Amino acid sequence: MRKSRTFEDVIAQIEQRIADDGLTVGDRLPGERQLAEQLQVGRSSVREALRVLETLGVITSQAGRGPDAGAVLISRPESALADLLRLHLGTASLALPEVIDTRLMIEQWAVQHVDAPEAMEVMRSALDSMEAAASFEEFVDHDVTFHMGVALLSGNRLLAATMRALRQTIHAYSVSAVRTAGRTDVLMADHWRIYELVGARDGQGAARAVADHLAHAYPSLTGEGPARSGDPA
């Protein structure tokens, strides 16, 4: 099996395992360590993927060891929607600034309409993984997870599916942008600022922080656009 680097790949593989094994609601998934071994990925990637699936309402976590370890399936994965969006976005003639503007709208809405605060666990796990990243590619992989966590905050699964599709369309560009900048400290500071403002329930402050972050991440594309349009009225 090809070694996956992104949490979307891990989610897709877990969803495939659910389908292949014929799991139904109430069945238990393998434990985190077992999944990591079976999928040939790091446990941090499995952990992030499971947290996203839990926030999406696909699984619920269960503490314990041995036969009691692993998450329980509480609904069927809704990957078909994300796959459809990915197919459309992958074949559409979308300019990158259009994608960034859409991300801006999704993330600003999410941080101002928090209905699933448990998504902050996804964000925090991604922050820890980014700080430990050994390469720009690994940093961006966990950056994807962080921004998925932002979208999940709203509790709106359509927004989360759209963000998942959007992020995949610009993953390669994101790696190139981070590598060109040669530093991740500014981006990490932005991430922590968003996380802390969401935790403080400062929706408008978090929305401004999202706009500032996108301007820092894509300065050649955004210019003054995100900072100006992202300032909440």
> What phi and psi values does residue 15 have, to the nearest 5 degrees?
-60, -40
> What mean pLDDT is predicted for residues 118-136?
92
Token pair 């359509």 in the structure block, residue: 158
Average pLDDT, the chain: 79
Domain 79-229 in CATH 1.20.120.530? The answer is yes
Query: 54 pLDDT exceeds 60?
Result: yes
Mean pLDDT across 101-122: 94
Percent of the chain with pLDDT over 70: 76
CATH architecture, range 7-73: Orthogonal Bundle (1.10)
Give the model's pLDDT for residue 21.
76
Backbone angles phi, psi at 60, to 5 degrees: -130, 135
Predicted local distance difference test score (pLDDT) of residue 146: 93
pTM: predicted TM-score of the whole model, two decimal places: 0.66
Quickly count: other Cβ atoms within 10 Å of residue 33's Cβ. Answer: 12
Question: Which one has a higher pLDDT value, 4 or 206?
Answer: 206
Question: Mean pLDDT over residues 48-59, rounded?
Answer: 80
Q: How many CA within 13 A on the CB side of residue 180?
A: 11
Q: How far apart are CA 41 and CA 65, in angstroms?
A: 21
The residue length of the chain stands at: 233
Report in angstroms the alpha-carbon separations of 12 from 3, 18, 52, 130, 137: 13, 10, 12, 21, 19
- The model's pLDDT over 62-109, given as tens digits with 9 standing for 90+, comes to 665 556 667 888 776 655 455 555 555 554 566 778 888 989 999 999
pLDDT score at 76: 64
Between CA 155 and CA 149 the distance in angstroms is 10
Task: State residue 3's pLDDT score.
Answer: 39
With beta carbons less than 8 A apart as the criterion, state whether 161 and 55 touch. Answer: no
Domain boundaries, the chain: 7-73, 79-229
Q: Which of 103, 92, 152 is nearest to 124 (CA)?
A: 152
89 burial level (CB within 10 Å; 0-12, 13-18, 19+): middle
